[in-house]
Chain A
């Protein structure tokens, strides 16, 4: 079932409201909303769950207008950051809760609970005697996922479900949640502040800032073709330089992994205020001072300085400090003029 939001707004006293959100979640798709804290992503998720009313706009689940529907009628189940498993019930009762509300027969409930727990890889032999708090964090989140999935919801909502887990479990569960979502073929909306999570799990990534959508697209699209300054700055290890291009002051967003260094004896060509950027061979290049290398695992990270502005360069090679020619492929350099996207290819200054 397609989920459509049209001009949805919700104002709060504080800043975490949402404004005029228009978004559609395709059937069976995994959509991730990513953005800094306070960007309204959780507000949007909770509005879809029906936990609070919206000020204006409409929300449709398929043909049905659910804008005014209470949470319990929507069939949009939520997976919470803190798992929200009920400590006084066994794992079986936790998962069976939604089924019991639907007045299903005992045998069918047993069957469904066992099936769903098997699919999320929770051993089912002792689920009637064990309480959820006796499981590890990763297992608890899988139980919570089973509880949300077992009633075959229209929409699965996940509110930073992995952020309470440690890094190893988190990266494993990313793959697992994605696989479970695909095997159920369920429409999912996933909120996270972790861009890696969003990019790696989702079919579609929504970047939000200050209650508005900045960009929507496939992970590769939003990563490689950012349409707004914020989208460019938010994703990847990005740095913004104020530079002079075609005689105009512009912002150049570049990502550490795209910058190549070439030793160069010629001192940086200095402009009065901004560094100069040259274009040639499909690359932009400029002179930068490279500092001491930091070993960060697979690569070295260099603090680079150009006209008092700093950025990081990631390179596998070890370079001694000094002046270098930094080059970026033109398609990986993102230009903005006063915050608006600007044409990338251009002549030498």
Chain B
């Protein structure tokens, strides 16, 4: 019996050893590749943001400095930044207000032509953005909404509602009906059941979906440019304007700054996100 045990022990390390080396190489390759993919484009942004003088054929800038960071931070940029955050908050708020009840109804009740309804929500995303937004712009001109906060908020909502409804419907669908039935037959009303049972259970999903909406609104460019100009300059538009003026430095600084809320929110989202909520994106 002891011989058998020894044999087994002697036999095991060899395949395990080569296996772990293979895995380590695989892992290294994957890490290296993803770092290259993610950090590659960003690294040039970082270098550009600190470059005060950088001419061809030099590989790295001739003069380094914080001049552009200072210029961006004290200039109109702060204004754009707060405007962008304000719009994003407003869009997120309106989105939650509209989408939570709507998604719940879609998820729970037999609604005629349910899939058609969901498809309609998807339509603006199905077509190229530019024609959709130029058409929207035409309508907004008629209603005097171009260049106003309302106009930009509305155009952001077009895209945001898609994210929101599709994710939240799947969040509510993932909550078993029996959880609600259990509350109702203990004596709870439908409204009370929704607020004490359904909503708290759906909350992580709603938060995750709202974070996505917030990020979408913060980064939205085409609609903001077409509807917002010339009076409403959000961060992405501001960045675009400075890049158009061949101010690579300003554009880089703005770009880096815009990444910060995104990274923070995505980290937050990871905490709330469950895999079933991610499934909504697969379908969306």
Contacts and interface: CB of A to CB of B under 8 A. Distances in A.
Nearest to A46: B181
B135 interface: no
29 contacts: A49-B185, A51-B185, A71-B184, A71-B185, A72-B185, A72-B188, A73-B187, A74-B185, A75-B187, A76-B185, A77-B186, A78-B181, A80-B182, A81-B178, A82-B178, A84-B176, A84-B182, A86-B182, A86-B183, A87-B201, A88-B200, A88-B201, A88-B203, A97-B186, A97-B196, A101-B188, A144-B182, A148-B186, A151-B186
Contact of A147 (B181, B184, B186, B196): B186
Contact of A72 (B176, B178, B179, B187): B187
A78 B182 contact: yes
A50 interface: yes
B47 interface: no
Bin chain B's interface residue count: 10 to 19
Nearest to B193: A72
Interface in B167-206: 176, 178-179, 181-189, 192, 196-197, 200-201, 203
B178 A49 contact: no
Given A49-B181, A86-B182, 6 more contacts: A72-B184, A72-B185, A78-B185, A82-B178, A86-B179, A86-B183
Contacts of B186: 72, 77, 97-98, 101, 147-148, 151
Interface residues of A, number: 27
B172 to A, nearest CB: 15
Contacts, number: 62
B1 to A, nearest CB: 30
Contacts of B188: 72, 97, 101
B11 to A, nearest CB: 35
A102 interface: yes
B187 A80 contact: no
A82 B181 CA distance: 12
B178 A84 contact: yes
A101 B182 CA distance: 13
Contacts of B189: 72
Interface in A82-118: 82, 84-88, 97-98, 101-102
Contacts of B192: 101
B178 A80 contact: yes
Nearest 9 pairs of A and B residues by beta carbon: A98-B186, A84-B178, A84-B182, A101-B187, A80-B178, A88-B200, A72-B187, A71-B185, A71-B184
Contacts of B200: 88
Contact of A84 (B181, B187, B196, B203): B181
B112 to A, nearest CB: 15
Contacts of B176: 82, 84
Contacts of B178: 80-82, 84
Contacts of A75: 187
A87 B201 CA distance: 7
A148 B181 CA distance: 12
B180 to A, nearest CB: 9
